[in-house]
Structure 1
Amino acid sequence: MIQVRLFAALRERAGRDSMEVNLPDGVTTVSELVSWLEQSDPDLAKAFAATPCRMVAVNEVLASEDADIGDGDVIALFPPVTGG
């Protein structure tokens, strides 16, 4: 099982801030997880489509969507942030 956390506009668009999912066979990267989530949940598909540029953290460490994932991981997805 993994935990997926959504932040900022992505959270608002998806209508939830987190979810726990059983990692499907063959899903080994963040990008594969996102694709699987899009196929399994129309609300998430819309949220991801509206937020195509996003940042990723795996277990609280910034990563890319090519990062490997496994059982027990916490995946955070959020829009890019800027500061001033």
Structure 2
Amino acid sequence: MKIQLRFFASVRELVGAGQEVLAIPDAAATVGDVRALLVARGGSWAEALGEGRLLRMAHNQLMCKADTPLADGDEVAFFPPVTGG
């Protein structure tokens, strides 16, 4: 299955890309699984998306949790929490 990834703000700066199409294995069934696949790349990917990092996720432009299931063609976005004022 292929999904569209989008990265925003400091996540985009750390990984050096704003978007990517990713073919994921069948075992990667959730948004959290995709995050783990990206962290496994190591280096700046692990720094940007690691479990200790405060991070928001969206699935098809709706905020989501790590256990959100995926389907072919879905969009997943990662970005830091944002505050306003």
Superposed pair shares fold, TM > 0.5:
yes
Residues 54 and 13 of structure 1, relative CA distance in 2, 3 Å threshold: same
- Residue of structure 1 in register with 2:57 after alignment: 56
Identity, % of aligned positions: 35
The 8 Å contact of residues 23 and 71 in structure 1, kept in 2 or not, is answered as: no
Matches within 5 A, 1:1-84: 1-40=2-41, 42-49=43-50, 52-84=53-85
Distance 1:23 1:58 in 2: 15
Larger mean Cα displacement after TM superposition, 38-47 or 9-18:
38-47
Shift in Å, 1:40:
3.2
Number of residues paired by the alignment? 84
Unaligned runs of 5+ in 1: none
When the two chains are superposed, the root-mean-square deviation of aligned CA atoms in Å is 1.7
Larger mean Cα displacement after TM superposition, 45-54 or 17-26:
45-54
